[in-house]
Structure 1
Amino acid sequence: RYRLAGSDKLFLRMNSNSYLSLSHDPRLLEAADRATRQLGAGPGAVRFIDGTFSYHVELERRIAQYVGKPAAKIFNSAYTANLGQGLALASAQTYWIGDELNHNSIIRAMRIAGVPKENRAIYKHNNLEELKKCLDAVPPGMERVLVIFDGIFSMRGDFTPLAEVNRLLEPYRERFPKGLVTVMDDSHGVGAYGRTGRGTEEHTQSSCDILIGTFGKAFGVNGGFVASSPEVIEAIRQKADTYIYTNPLGVGDCAAALEAVNITDSPEGVERLRTLQARTQQFREGVEKLGWETIPGPHPIVPLLVRDTARAKRLVQHFFEHGVLVVGLTYPVVPRGEETIRFQINAAHTEADIAYVLDVLSKFEG
């Protein structure tokens, strides 16, 4: 629970993406403090000059190991990681295909990379028939195709059916000499989804070629990463502006992220994940019993589809008056008619917390 500035009341936070509730863990705070006191608050240079410390190298090794990829590069955020991989892979002979509900950072990556309209296509959300049409329509002369999607879609909590996508792509792979490459931003999945927290790849029992992730959600710290083959990671090291021309994460963030990955990849981490899953199921079942429309699924993002801006605002205010912090998503963040209250469950939520939120929801008359 949190006390807002200027208020004496404690609020139950239902809008945090710290899914495993690690952001205030004393072990992370102590790791950050030790590293900062040892090597300073900031790196003092970009990576290729004098800004690479052992903590950066170890975090890259550890996160690659955790997600099951050969190599990784860390960024200041998953947002800049998406921009970086886009800049590294862009070319006049590269065609981009993306889900219509992709995160803003993916859309922005295409724009910053200068991808012309004739070199990109968008398919309706999770519509594999439309994805196939996009593949069939790739113009001649394209050497590489990037198929880009979120693992978990942040506004809805649903996921890309990765195994089905890969089956669809298989017959097309030999058409493009530089590859048909799947790029997945699983920022809301890694650490919080799947049997052991490995995200959408684990949940779907399938894999992507390039994985984007964050240390700022389930791991509770800050920063992002790209994990892939050594060849892709080397291309990013040499060509990604958002990696090359900026100071990296401070060693404090790196040390805390390392500690978070180690905790997550342990029996304690699995227990936190089981608790998160149980609280998520409790909340989803309660919402459905109350008759609210939602999107089914096991992810701790639970959307209430209110479908009306004024009603969504009244519901947010109703929760606030009862000491619960939630976020209302309205146009232009979501399309008109898709107005949503997004709840995010954390491992620190208790059964009593969830029961209280459901009770508050049951009393809404707006």
Structure 2
Amino acid sequence: MSMDRLNAALAADVEQLRTEGRLKPAERVINGYLPPAGARGPRWLVEGRDQEFIRMNSNSFLSLGHIPELMKAADEAAAKFGVGPGAVRFIDGTFTPHTDLEARIAGFLGKPAGKIFNSAYTASLGLALSIQNDKTYWVGDALNHNCIIRAMRVAGVPRANKAIYRHNDIDHLKECLAAIPEGIERVIVIFDGIFSMRGEVAPLAQINEAVAPYREKFKDGLITVVDDSHGVGAFGDTGRGTIEFTGAPADVIMGTFGKAFGVNGGYIAASNELVEAVRQKADTYIYTNPLSVADCAAADKAVELVDSEWGVKRLRYLHERIAQFREGLDELGLESISGPHPVVPLMVRDGDKTRRMVRDFESRGVLVVGLAWPIVPEGDDTIRFQVNASHSEEDIAEVLRVLSEIV
């Protein structure tokens, strides 16, 4: 058969992943949802398992996915415009919900303009493709998300035109800036706002201080770009993410509607000129159909809700549950990385123990994420908990009880 030899080669590639400890397990299939009842939060059903689960592995930090207002907005948009756009944005695939959402997220983040994408990943690729040229230099954090690393590669950034500074190390960032070679006309300093594996915050004020002497040095200037996919919506008193929490601005904000906002899609919020360059040059925007109008309408409603007194109360409740969980870890004498973000890492520091604890959690009705070598460095083996606003006080207490039994 024509595929036989390729199939054999690909099977060997997958087997090599198994040998290296990098093979991903079979995906669990969620096939049911039980709404909150009494003192407990929602429960999830998994195909092939006769059990109800608490999800401590969801990025839906504000738990907006089942809010009636979002579902109503999605239904009404689909009823009016249909379930799919039928074309790319440039060929009459732009509908009112697309432009409404772009205006909404830009206004929420205090930027003149916004542009939406099918995901934050494609937003990152689109940004890099739009602003990279042969005289651009990139400076990034060592723990940046894969979407940033891949964006530089897809945009064709040569090794000589980029530098990586040690994670959150401002002194090393300054060294990288001082070493930018002659002939560079444009500098992009890019970093995660919240580092998703550890829940750590980028020191944005210190980054701004470090880059300040270089902003006028280059012909096209120096800009800061923050991927705040884990920050916007879930972090800061009003959900405006890292810029609000640190009290420091960023020139460009990338993010997602698929985490705290509970829907789907990504965005860039920045100047009118940068957003227009993205619209004109980003392959990941130009050559693909956009988000469905249902996604856009639901995301628009999500941002509207977060930007309200209801949203502030929801964030306050989320932060109370985060504090409850972190206090419980402290009472158990367990190691974590401090911080107020809903991503709470438990530092296990042993790969076999991490894998065993993940299995034990699942057997007791709690879904968590285990991160062991080679996904993380040896000795940094971690269980990543993600606290959501749908978790009740009793849910958090139950997870801590299970943890006390299996640690």
Is the structural similarity TM-score above 0.5?
A: yes
Q: Which residue among 313, 316, 323 is the counterpart of 1:281?
A: 323
User: SS state of the match for residue 11, structure 1?
Assistant: strand
CA distance in 2: counterparts of 1:204 and 1:296, whole angstroms: 16
**CA distance, structure 2, for counterparts of residue 331 and residue 19 of structure 1:** 26
Separation of aligned partners in 2, 1:305 and 1:82: 30
Distance 1:350 1:48 in 2: 45
Aligned to 1:115: 157
| Aligned counterparts of 1:146 and 1:302: Cα–Cα separation in 2 | 30
SS for the counterpart of 1:114 is coil
Residue 7 (1) aligns with residue 49 (2): yes
Match of 2:85 in 1: 43
Q: After superposition, what is the alpha-carbon deviation per residue over 1:23-47, rounded to whole angstroms, capped at 9, x for unaligned? A: 1111111111111121111111100
Residue of structure 2 equivalent to 1:20: 62
Aligned AA (2:248): S
d(CA) in 2 for partners of 1:102, 1:363: 35
Q: Percent identity?
A: 62
Secondary structure of 1:48 counterpart = helix
In the TM superposition, residue 52 of structure 1 has moved relative to its aligned partner by: 0.3
Of 296, 300, 308, which aligns to 2:338? Answer: 296
Alignment of 1:222-233 (within 5 A): 222-233=264-275
Letter in 2 for 1:164: Q
Report SS of the residue matched to 1:346. Answer: coil
TM-score, normalization: structure 1?
0.99
Matched, 1:272 2:314: yes
Alignment of 1:1-366 (within 5 A): 1-365=43-407
- Look up the SS of the partner of 1:145 in the other structure: strand
Q: How far off its partner does 1:333 sit?
A: 2.6
Q: In 1, Cα distance between the equivalents of 2:305 and 2:101? A: 14
**How much has 1:323 moved relative to structure 2?**
0.5
Task: Give the aligned CA root-mean-square deviation in angstroms.
Answer: 0.8
User: Secondary structure in 1 aligned to 2:54?
Assistant: strand
Q: What are structure 2's unaligned runs of at least 5 residues?
A: 1-42
Give CA-to-partner distance per residue, 1:192-248, whole Å, 9 cap, x none.
000111000000011101100110001000000000000100110011110111100
The count of residues paired between Structure 1 and Structure 2 equals 365
Query: Aligned partners of 1:332, 1:86: CA distance in 2, in Å?
Result: 28
Moved over 3 A (4+): none
Q: Deviation of residue 332 (structure 1)?
A: 3.2
Deviation at 1:67, TM superposition (A): 0.9
Cα distance between partner residues in 2 of 1:81 and 1:43: 19
**1:108-150 CA-partner distances (Å, limit 9, x unpaired):** 0000011111000101100001100100110000001100000
Question: Considering only CA atoms, is the larger Rg found in Structure 1 or Structure 2?
Answer: 2
CA distance in 2 between partners of 1:331 and 1:68 (Å): 40
Larger deviation, residues 239-248 vs 4-13 = 4-13
3-state SS of paired residue (1:261)? helix
For 2:375 and 2:239, the matched residues in 1 are separated by 28
The Cα shift of 1:330 comes to 1.9
Cα shift at 1:336:
2.2
Q: Distance in 1 between matches of 2:311 and 2:370?
A: 30
